[in-house]
Structure 1
Amino acid sequence: METAEIRRRFLNYFESKGHTVVPSAPLPAIDDPNLLFINAGMVQFVPYFTGQAKAPWNTATSVQKCIRTPDIEEVGKTSRHGTFFQMNGNFSFGDYFKEDAIRHAWELSTDPVEKGGFGLDPERIWATVYLDDDESIDIWHNKIGLPMERIVRRGQEDNLWSMGIPGPCGPCSELYYDRGPAYGPEGGPEVDEDRYLEYWNLVFMQWLRGEGPAKKDYEILGDLPKKNIDTGMGLERMASILQGVDNMYEIDQVRPLIDKTQELTGKRYGQSTSQVAGESHPDDVRFRVVADHVRSSLMLIGDGVVPSNEGRGYVLRRIMRRAIRSVRLLGYEKPVLPELLPIARDLMGQSYPELVDDFERISSYAYAEEESFLRTLKHGTAILDNAVEETKKTGGGTLSGSKAFELHDTYGFPIDLTLEMASEQGLEVDQDGFRELMGEQRRRAKEDAVARKSGHTDLSAFWKLVEKFGKTEWLAYETLRTESKVLAILDKGESVVAAGEGRIVDVVLDSTPFYAESGGQHADAGALVGSGFRGEVLDVQRPVKGLVVHKVRVLEGEIGLDAEVEAEVDPEWRVGARQAHSGTHVVHAALREVLGPSALQSGSFNRPGYLRLDFSWRAKLSGETKSEIEEVSNRAIREDLPVSAQYMTLPEAREWGALALFGETYDETVRVVEIGGPWSRELCGGTHVSHSSQIGSVVVTSESSVGSGQRRVEAVTGIESYRYLARERDLVGQIAGEVGAQKGDVLEKVRSIMQRAKDAERELETMRGKMMGAQAGEYAQQAQQIGAVKVAAVQAPDGTNGGDARKLATQIRGSLPAGEPGVAAVAATSGGKASLVIAVNEAAKAQHVSAQGLVKAALSGRGGGNDEIAQGGGVAAEQAPSLLDAVRAEIGR
């Protein structure tokens, strides 16, 4: 049974039982401060389980896309775990409980295929339950008919579920399937969890847990107000069972990626085993990494994540680069994503058709990232050369752990690549130091995760306010001023009854005209004014759905609970905000008109007079293209296009062609903003002008790269665009005055001045070379004979840099008598330090004179190079003469 069919049957079964089918949330965990990515099927339902919000349905079912990245380097080392997986789930919010949850799972698992079930053999199913959960045992044995010998009691760590922090928890019952003696010894899941494969976990969420470790030994505080059901059936696990394959890498949605990689590399998967017991062969690990990470990358980019150097984008970049590197280690040197990504699209497109529709955008990011990384690999030798040279200058033979970590962290170099390249240049790598720095990075990441977890409980105060007062009446579209009542005042999260002059507090009103920051639009500015009180509104946010919170600095008097206030938005601020947000839509439409439909917005920010828009594009925009985008934008403004907003369902909006921001979560009812009809049609909750001419004008101020396949346009609007052009005009005037040219001739004049400067620099360089050549001849004539070798030991003028010293040494060597052993030694001083360069000719090398040996002798073992030319340094400038003496002494030995 194909994986897509397993998914379809699961949803159909629970829909037939009255469950609402809820779409998968996007992989980025936008609404949960604890997580980078959704990592479990129940994450999007957490507010309903915790009581922070009322569930819109009594029962629900979903197939949730999940990413788990606790330690990416471990992926592929076993065949059981991967980065991306899908979790089938059914959920009850105070509706049914244990008996129905168990009955549903048993029925769907064992019903014949022709009746819509999975057709598992009931004689091979085992169940585990929490130690003292006699109720579940009774249901399994007396109502389902499962024999007692196939029901296993397990402890808190295995069969008591919680989120790892204080909150809802409960016992769980896990279903295991016996895959037969070929997979291990008999005896149930307590004996072998490879043979007895867990495929479904039924969580009976009924208690509230207290502080304590994540897995066990925490206190149970009492019962929840409502008993809930949260189940998770691993889709890939079930597919491996129903398809009769060993593991998730063998199923229909993954194995074709391994097969194609075999075809490209000529290597075979699963043909050989490791010499170390319990470990996979390195090539098998690489095959799994490629298959898992390519599929994960497709799903992440599909949900709006783009490669970058921080946060979610950094995780994606690591995943992609690990896949690319693994293919190269298997022997394939060409770009591989154009070969594998379309296969992943076709495999996953049955379940997620949006991947097919959006593949042009997805592939543009992926292919650009691979091109970027391949360039990094290509220039890797040059990157390492500097580090190697610095190491050898100090006489070291080991590349520092900090440098290896920098190569890994900054350039994306896997440590094995650094080890290989350093070894080729005669250096070892401080692997202990590297691992220590990696450990520090992981510890910081864990500390950040703990800090994010505390943010989840911080929201509880806001949810309680929603429960107590209901949603804020939000009137930002209708008015700039409301008569409002103060419902709550919070100081650092704690409720207070009043706040006096100078304090900054969070204020909740029953109604507000203020726009809360969202959708890339900055929050409104303004004031709260009451009897004997005035406060400045610094920020406006929606910490939880339905609640608007104002950060207010008390300027005069005291604000107290139940006070009547006038909430007033600064009208000039709002005008500028509307111009900037509508300007963002106009620039986005202009980009798509000029560059094509694949130039889609991936993020934006706007505030009065300013806008920033990120979009998918793989190349730098030319000056002509930027001018064309600017012109298209301003033509749309001049045409005075109507701007309107309409509400409709999300499917209707998509059918209508409205553009949505990738990775955003939308309600079923959405707001669509149009500018000029279909020319610009986007899902948006921001404030806008009523006609495009009210934007004033758009001036593009910059265009830059913000990651592989992603560009950023910045622009100013309204009065700010006038001020920007005025400053540019004044600057051109000042430059024209300085260079003595008319404004229209400034560019040509500056180019002429720059060219003359370059010509003068080249002439100086030529003269310096001639002078150095003449000096080299004089120094060669002054060479002294030491044994069979002529030695020209020269102290260069103070301030001679390392490059010039090296050039002088080679020129002196070339001026020494041909056919006679000769050595040129140049000591240079610069910046209070002395350096030494030695060049040896072929005749001297034949006498076993080594440049590298002489440098190390003079510098007590430090320095690097080869037998022909070597250099070192780092000693005090006053030691320069003694360096030359040491060279003479070494040659005379």
Structure 2
Amino acid sequence: MQTADIRRRWLDYFERNGHTVVPSASLVSDDPSLMFTVAGMVPFVPYLSGLVPAPYPRATSVQKCIRTNDIEEVGKTPRHGTFFQMCGNFSFGDYFKAGAIRYAWGLLTSSEADGGLGFDPEDLWVTVYEEDDEARGIWRDEIGLPDERIQGLGKDTNYWSTGQPGPAGPCSEIFFDRGPAYGIDGGPATDDDRYVEIWNLVFMQYEIADVQSKVDFRIVGELPKQNIDTGMGLERVAFLKQGVDNMYEIDQVRPVLDRAAELAGKTYGANHDDDVRLRVVADHVRSGLMLISDGVTPSNEGRGYILRRLLRRVILSMRLLGVEGATFPELFPVSRDAMRDGYPDVERNFAFISRAAYAEERTFLRTLHSGIEILDDAVGRAQADRTDLAGDTAFLLHDTHGFPIELTLEIAEEAGVAVDEGVFASLMQEQRDRAKADAKAKKGQRADLSVYKELRGLGETLFTGYSELRHESRVLGLVVDGATAREAREGEIAELVLAETSLFAESGGQDSDQGLIVGDGFEAEVLDVQKPVPGLIVHTVKVTVGTIGLDARAETRVDADYRRGATQAHSGTHVVHAALRDVLGPNAHQSGSYNKAGYLRLDFTHSDALSAETKSEIEEISNLAIRSDYDVVTREMDLDEAKSIGAMALFGEKYGDRVRVVDIGGPWSRELCGGTHVSSSAEIGMINLVSESSVGSTNRRVESLVGLEAFRNFAAERAIVQQLTSGLKVPRLEVVSKVQDLSAQLKAAEKKIAAFEAQQLAQRVPDLMAGAERVGDVRAVIASLGSVGSADDIRGLALKLREQFGSEAGVVALAGDAAGKPVVITATTAAARDAGVKAGDLAKLGAGVLGGGGGGKPDLAQGGGTDPARIDPALAEIRRSLQG
């Protein structure tokens, strides 16, 4: 049974049983506390928690998920994958335990001919929470499962909660027994791989408080509505139904594994270590494909960092399999073909996906080459010293260059060098501890969304600001210091919920409105407007006059100048996006934006920097569109209708069934957008592109000033040009050539000065050699040179001095002040190195005294610092080292 067939059977079964089929949400989670959608229930949390009224009594979905907390287990166990699909059915105050259990058992055990999954009831075991006699009774009495195949377990495995005060409840899990060939008898309680969990039923029954841990909390009482959240692991069921041993061998994953094995010249099943690497490749390629399809691109932070880590683990695994060149152009198309039945977007978006993935591979292969040079140098030093490779070096390679410790160990082992794994492990643990502390701190900063539950229950906030800047409304709720309040007094910062508002809440890249909220006897300055939960608009205000009370009449007043600037910027973003696509082609797709009054920032998919001519062309097309005074038309329609007329949906954005389409010049710019816009393009005023930069291997960013701010910037540049023409006494059109001439003259003068200074230093060689001293086993020149032009001058002098020693054991240690920064250069002859003296060690020692760092090769090294006054003590420390 193919994975896509299992998926269809799930959705058809629950649709026949009255569930609304909900499409999978994006892997990029709406929950601010989560980077990714990590479980099938995540998109339904607002409904399950009661924060937002559920739009349907029961629902079903097959949700895409990403989870990387067990990334080190990928490939080693049958069921750990970073990307997985969770089949879920949900009840929001409708059916409860008996219904959920009956539905699960019915789908699992009904025949394949009848649309079921065809599991033999004799192969299924069940666990329940040890105190949940109701669930045990249903399994035993209604389903007819023998009591010996129903096992009671504790809170640590069979009780669900978010880890925060709120809804919680017992769980019941269904396991498949793979038979004695896979482990010992005894049921799921043995925690053995023989028993594979395929379905988890969560009975949200209670409200909990005083949460100390997963097993330590207080049950406050029963929830007003008892909910059901169940999930079946699609990959787990697939590998059982397909008769393979693990999720890496199912039809959606195995083709990538086989292609990787072919590229590496390996036979899957012949070697355990190679098998693990092949599974890692297959899993991570699929995860990368799905993440990029949902708009995530590689970067050094957040979601992009997780994606980058996955892709680099593929590259490194392929290298450990013996493949050093690029493999993504071979592997990603195979994964696309395996996944497109369930997810057609991977085929539609493949040009974007492949561009992002292939560019990341090219970049990392270059990084890998430089990292191997560092490792080879470290291995060479360890061989010469007959020591282990330092643990901090292994950590640096891991942390900075993305080398897993396995790669470092393998290369070191080939050279006959051991690695100090204890220090490496210690540094890794320190990094994990810092990450956990940071995550805990960030978690503590997040607002508890439960405070909005009652407010959202009063209804959806109506936004009236598309057609008006003022609106009379009523105060529905107040939040002060994170808790609901009956009033907010003068001087307090409060969150204000109204029945309707004309103030725009930050969304779709557009910053929130500025303005006031006024009423009888009070006035409040609007600091921010957000949508903390779907359908609820919350105004953060500072009460400047009087006291705001519940149910008071309140008028929202948008700052008209700010709104005008914001609409100019947002419409300007659409214009620049269309101009980019005109110049660069349809693959230049917006991947992020931010706009506020007078300013816009647009990120777009493109690998190469834009030339000055290209930037000018984009700017000119944008301003020609403004001059053309195109009509800006907004329409509401169904999402499918919007897509059918070519409206552009942007990566990473979430859209409901009804969408707002914004046209500028008809189809020239047609995008889905919920922001505020001008009524004609001429109202934008002016576009002034002020910068273009890289924000990743496949993403560029343009920034522009808009409207009056664009004019002011041009006026400021005009004033600068006027000052230059006056000071240089040349016409405006000759300013550039005059500045170029002056720059060339300055560079020539600097070159002459540098040559003179180098000559002066070279003339000091005889005097410095005359002062050479016997220090320990070597003869050394140790000297402070005072002020010098650059570190290169000191290095050149050190090399000349080293030549004077010939075959003698000689050491040079020179230091100087280069433009206020102390520099120390050390050099050694071959005889000195044979005596155990290394330039890198001496430079590092001296740099430490200077308040900086340094090092290098045994024959030549450099260090620096921050305090030139410490040059003499630094040289004295080097002398003491040589004496020792």
* TM more than 0.5: yes
Match of 1:464 in 2: 454
Compute the displacement of 1:762 (Å).
Answer: 3.1
| RMSD (Å), alpha carbons | 3.7
- Residues 278-302 of structure 1, C-alpha deviation per residue, up to 9 Å, x if partnerless? xxx3x33322221111111111111
Give me the whole-angstrom Cα distance separating, in 2, the residues matched to 1:861 and 1:611.
45
Listed one character per residue, the Cα deviations across residues 673-707 of structure 1 (whole Å, up to 9, x for unaligned) are 11111111111111101111111111111111112
Correspondence for 1:664 among 636, 647, 653: 653
CA–CA distance in structure 2, aligned partners of residues 850 and 131 of structure 1:
69
> How many pairs were matched up?
869
**Aligned residue in 1 for 2:464:** 475
Residue 742 of structure 1 aligns to which amino acid in structure 2? P
Q: CA deviation at 1:68?
A: 1.2
For 2:74, the equivalent position in structure 1 comes to: 75
Tell me the SS of whatever aligns to 1:114. coil
Match of 2:814 in 1: 828
The 1:610/1:429 distance shift into structure 2, 3 A limit, reads farther
The verdict on how the C-alpha distance between 1:120 and 1:388 changes in structure 2, with shifts beyond 3 A counting, is: closer
State the one-letter code of the partner of 2:786: D
Please give the per-residue CA displacement for 1:170-199, whole angstroms capped at 9, x wherever unaligned: 222222222222212233222353222211
Residue 439 of structure 1 pairs with residue 429 of structure 2: yes
State the Cα distance separating 1:133 from its structure 2 match: 3.1
Q: CA deviation at 1:404?
A: 5.9
Alignment identity in percent? 53
> Which deviations, in whole Å up to 9, do the C-alpha atoms of 1:205-253 show, x marking residues without a partner?
2222333355324333322222222111100000010000111111111
Paired with 1:871 and 1:567, the residues of 2 have a C-alpha distance of: 64
Q: Offset at 1:768?
A: 4.2
User: Paired residue for 2:192?
Assistant: 193
Task: Specify the SS of the correspondent of 2:188.
Answer: coil
Paired residue for 1:316, among 307, 311, 316?
307
Deviates more, 1:550-559 or 1:429-438: 429-438
Letter in 2 for 1:20: T
Instruction: Trace 1:340-489 onto structure 2 (pairs within 5 A).
Output: 340-380=331-371, 408-416=398-406, 432=422, 434-447=424-437, 449-450=439-440, 458-468=448-458, 470-489=459-478
| 1:779-829 deviation digits (Å, cap 9, x = unpaired) | 66x599999x9968474633457644442243245457xxx7445543423
Once the two structures are TM-superposed, the CA of residue 766 in structure 1 deviates from its matched residue by 3.7
Change over 3 Å in CA distance of 1:658–1:58 after alignment to 2: same
Give the equivalent residue in structure 1 for 2:851. none
Q: What is the one-letter code of the residue matched to 1:224?
A: L
Corresponding residue of 2:719 = 730
- The alpha-carbon distance between structure 1 residues 361 and 423, as it changes in their structure 2 partners (threshold 3 A), is same
Letter in 1 for 2:105: W
1:3 equivalent in alignment to 2:3: yes
Amino acid at match of 1:9: R
Find the partner of 2:733 among 744, 754, 775.
744
Partner of 1:13: 13
- Whole-angstrom CA distance in 1 between matches of 2:780 and 2:138: 97
Alpha-carbon deviations, 1:598-650, whole Å to 9, x = none?
11111111111110111111111111111111111111111111111111111
Partner of residue 24, structure 2: 24
1:703-852 to 2 correspondences below 5 Å: 703-776=692-765, 793=781, 795=783, 797-799=785-787, 803-814=792-803, 821-822=807-808, 825-830=811-816, 837-840=826-829, 852=838
- Decide whether aligned partners of structure 1 residues 881 and 542 sit closer, same or farther in structure 2, where only a CA change above 3 A counts: closer
Note the residue ranges of structure 2 that are not aligned, 5 or more in a row.
849-853
1:92 corresponds in structure 2 to 91
TM-fit CA distance, 1:758: 2.5
Partner amino acid for 1:618? S
Query: Quick one: structure 1 residues 826 and 641, their matched pair in 2 at CA, closer, same or farther if it must change by over 3 Å?
Result: same
Match of 1:148 in 2: 147
Q: Distance in 2 between matches of 1:57 and 1:270?
A: 48
In structure 2, how many angstroms separate the alpha carbons of the residues matched to 1:734 and 1:636? 33
Distance, in Å, in 1 between the alignment partners of 2:110 and 2:736 is 80
1:326 to 296, 317, 326: 317
* Shift in alpha-carbon separation, 1:429–1:147, aligned structure 2, 3 A: closer
- Name whichever of 311-320 and 731-740 sits farther off: 731-740
**Residue 276 (structure 2) aligns with:** 285
Change beyond 3 A, Cα 1:407–1:754: farther
- 1:276 corresponds in structure 2 to none
- For residues 122-141 of structure 1, the aligned pairs below 5 Å read 122-141=121-140
Change (3 A) 1:581 1:873: closer
Structure 1 residue 517 displacement after superposition? 1.1
**Pair 757,269 (structure 1): closer, same or farther in 2 beyond 3 Å:** farther
- Is the CA contact 1:401–1:433 (under 8 Å) kept in the aligned structure 2? yes
Q: Does 1:690 align with 2:679?
A: yes
Q: Distance in 2 between matches of 1:441 and 1:417?
A: 20
Compute the displacement of 1:49 (Å). 1.5
- Comparing 746-755 with 212-221, which one deviates more in the overlay? 212-221
Aligned partners of 1:324 and 1:334: how far apart in 2? 9
For the 8 Å contact 2:794–2:816, the answer to whether it is kept is no
Bigger shift: residues 220-229 or 48-57: 220-229
User: In structure 2, what is the Cα distance between the partners aligned to 1:855 and 1:437?
Assistant: 23
Given that 2:470 and 2:555 are in contact with CA atoms closer than 8 Å, whether structure 1 keeps it comes out as yes
Name the CA shift for 1:664/1:122 in 2 (closer, same or farther; >3 Å). Answer: same
Inter-CA distance 77–213: structure 2 relative to 1 (3 Å threshold): farther
- Offset, 1:459: 1.7
Per the alignment, residue 219 of structure 1 pairs with 218
* Partner residue, 1:230: 229
SS of residue in 1 equivalent to 2:536: coil
Q: Give ranges in structure 1 of 5+ residues lacking alignment.
A: 274-280
- 2:296 is aligned with 1:305: yes
Find out whether 1:120 has 2:119 as its counterpart: yes
Q: Distance in 2 between matches of 1:851 and 1:455?
A: 53
Task: Give the C-alpha shift of residue 71 in structure 1.
Answer: 4.2
State the SS of the aligned residue for 1:326.
helix
Larger deviation, residues 848-857 vs 362-371: 848-857
- Does the C-alpha gap of structure 1 residues 577 and 878 become closer, same or farther in structure 2, counting only changes over 3 Å? closer
Q: What secondary structure sits across from 2:786 in the alignment?
A: coil
Supply the distance in 1 between the matched residues of 2:238 and 2:448 (Cα, whole angstroms): 40
Secondary structure at 2:477's aligned position in 1?
strand
- Alignment partners' CA distance in 2, 1:512 and 1:881: 71
Kindly state the Cα deviation for residue 433 of structure 1 after the two structures are TM-superposed: 5.2
* Structure 1 residues 157-306: aligned runs within 5 Å: 157-191=156-190, 193-273=192-272, 281=273, 283-306=274-297
**Residue 504, structure 1, aligned to residue 490, structure 2:** no
Question: Residues of 1 paired with 2:475 and 2:540: CA distance?
Answer: 13
- State the TM-score, normalized to the length of structure 1: 0.89
Whole-angstrom distance in 2 between the partners of 1:662 and 1:294: 20
State the one-letter code of the partner of 1:797.
L
CA distance in 1 between partners of 2:192 and 2:774 (Å): 78
Deviations 1:60-116 (A, max 9, x none): 110011111224334333332111110011111222222332222222212222221
Which amino acid is 1:76 matched to?
Answer: G
Q: Residue 23 of structure 1: CA displacement?
A: 0.6
Task: Pick one of 319, 324, 328 that aligns with 1:337.
Answer: 328
The verdict on how the C-alpha distance between 1:417 and 1:475 changes in structure 2, with shifts beyond 3 A counting, is: same
Question: CA-to-partner distance for each residue in 1:10-45, whole Å, 9 max, x for gaps?
Answer: 111111112111011111112x23322111111111
Contact map agreement 1:840 1:867 (CA 8 A) in 2? no
User: Hey, what's the Cα distance between the residues in 2 that align with 1:854 and 1:262?
Assistant: 43
Deviation per CA, 1:288-342: give whole Å up to 9, x if none.
Answer: 2211111111111111212222221221111111221121122111112111111
